[in-house]
Structure 1
Amino acid sequence: MKQAFIFDVFGTLVDWRTGVATQLQSAFEVRSLSIDPLAFADHWRALYDPAMDKIRSGNRGYVRLEILHRENLDETLRAFGVGDDFDHHAREDLNSAWERLPPWPDVHVGMARLRSFGFLAPCSNASIAMSVRLARYADFRWDAIGGAELAKDYKPSSSVYLAAAKAFALPPERVVMVAAHNGDLAAARQAGLRTAFFPRATEYGPGQRTDLVADGDWDFVAADLPDLAKKIEACS
């Protein structure tokens, strides 16, 4: 095959907010804690970009995402005043929630259709270990595992997208970055990749205001993943 499709994962392929909150709810109920699991998940996720910014800016060396998630979890537990309720083992289990997330309903059908037109791989900020475990849980049939760990950096640094293209021995213009996030696609295009957008209108909950429509002249704009596969087929 002479092209590849690389995917953002959190938000684009999996419903991280519902998935994490569901697992938090179980942990809170066992401890009789009255905490809104969605609010906790949102707070935890809000620490994601600031933690990666320290690495992207060069103020901290690269560490895998699960380490950042664990540090952010500790901070979130303190913020909600329940740090004493979770020992080391319980925190490790909560942290692994990011490896047990449900795929959006259209994902398997869409990926199966796209497989005919190119290699498939994640281009996620998750580590290789996280991506492998999540793929097993969500039944993602990848041809390879790529992402931030190959580049020792985090999106939207161009090195992450270019590392994915290099791993497939393909020039950037033969690689399509697929994401429900306009900023991700803008960075991929800057690195020379082609781009494909479809929205996930409830990734951040019913009040979401961003990434509802394409805000760039992306190579492909679709309603969902199967619709993207249809558009790719029409161009093949």
Structure 2
Amino acid sequence: MRDSPGVAVPRALAFDVFGTVVDWRAGVARESGQFLRAIGRAEVDAAVFADDWRARYQPAMAAVRDGARDFVVLDVLHREMLVDVLRAYDVDPGSLDGALLDDWARAWHRLDPWPDAVEGLARLRAHVPVVTLSNGNVALMLAIARRGGLVWDAILGAEVTQRYKPLPEAYTATAAILGVAPHELCLVAAHHSDLAAARDAGLLTAYVDRPMERGGAPAPDRHLRQSWEWQVTSLIDLAEQLHG
């Protein structure tokens, strides 16, 4: 494995998943389009609906991070967020079958990887452990991995640490679980805010550019861009930069 000048070689790689490894927007829009048609709301733009659902992501976790409610897994929050966004579209969730809502909320289980993800992870995993460091719960990460052929050495993240990113313990506890120091663990992510929090917690950082994560719209955290240890266009690019 090759070093960046003056940068220690990571002993393990921890990955953000939504947006970094899988295309959440296309998947949630695809799934939501099917459900919107099923409830007679075919006129709703499914991609905009997906964006509105995702916009509730950070506020939903904030209550847990701030201690206003006990820890619950992201699957629970996703269903609550779905109920809230449906109301914003003048759909009464109470009028819908509960099983339909449960299945719709699991749209996040049925996301597809970016085209480079499977090969890139395999090439990286040949040299160091690769794990998830996602706010997604274990069942959610497992479903995505099995659907997309993603192979992880471990599924870690919020459910394991009981901390949602960007709390520093989400990063440092993951390093401790892996038996490495924070500076020996590299977070791989497509989000500057996630990387900034990881760096503040002592981790190395690798930025993966995913310009289509939001359908080509500018990233909301672009003002937090820094000079990350590695900046790549794909996971294959990261493997080549690290391993040659």
Tell me, yes or no, if structure 1 residue 130 matches structure 2 residue 135: no
Work out which of the residue numbers 3, 6, 11 in structure 1 matches 2:19: 11
| Equivalent in the alignment of 1:166 | 176
Give SS of 2:210's match.
coil
What is the rounded CA distance, in whole Å, between the counterparts of 1:172 and 1:154 in structure 2?
17
Give the letter aligned to residue 14 of structure 1.
V
Identical pairs, percent: 42
| Equivalent in the alignment of 2:90 | 81
| Mapped contact 2:172–2:201 kept (Cα < 8 A) | yes
What is the rounded CA distance, in whole Å, between the counterparts of 2:201 and 2:214 in structure 1?
27
Tell me, yes or no, if structure 1 residue 54 matches structure 2 residue 63: yes
Q: Which moved more, 1:211-220 or 1:171-180?
A: 211-220
* Deviation of 1:109 (Å): 1.4
What is the rounded CA distance, in whole Å, between the counterparts of 2:51 and 2:227 in structure 1?
30
Q: Which moved more, 1:28-37 or 1:156-165?
A: 28-37
TM-superposition CA deviations, 1:106-127 (whole Å, max 9, x none): 1111111111221011100001
Give SS of 1:197's match.
strand
Work out which of the residue numbers 97, 104, 107 in structure 2 matches 1:97: 107
Tell me, yes or no, if structure 1 residue 142 matches structure 2 residue 152: yes
| Equivalent in the alignment of 1:39 | 48
* Deviation of 1:20 (Å): 0.5
Unaligned runs of 5+ in 2: 1-9
Give the letter aligned to residue 90 of structure 1.
L
What is the rounded CA distance, in whole Å, between the counterparts of 2:183 and 2:241 in structure 1?
18
What is the rounded CA distance, in whole Å, between the counterparts of 1:212 and 1:38 in structure 2?
21
| Mapped contact 2:158–2:170 kept (Cα < 8 A) | yes
TM-superposition CA deviations, 1:106-162 (whole Å, max 9, x none): 111111111122101110000111111111112110101100112211100111111
* Deviation of 1:211 (Å): 5.8
Where in structure 2 are the equivalents of 1:84-233 lying within 5 Å? 86-210=96-220, 215-233=225-243
TM-score, normalising length from structure 1? Answer: 0.93
Work out which of the residue numbers 69, 79, 93 in structure 1 matches 2:78: 69
| Mapped contact 2:187–2:204 kept (Cα < 8 A) | yes
* Deviation of 1:31 (Å): 3.1
TM-score, normalising length from structure 2? Answer: 0.90
What is the rounded CA distance, in whole Å, between the counterparts of 2:83 and 2:213 in structure 1?
24
Give SS of 1:155's match.
coil
Unaligned runs of 5+ in 1: none
Return structure 1 stretches of 4+ with deviation > 6 angstroms.
Answer: none
| Equivalent in the alignment of 2:31 | 23
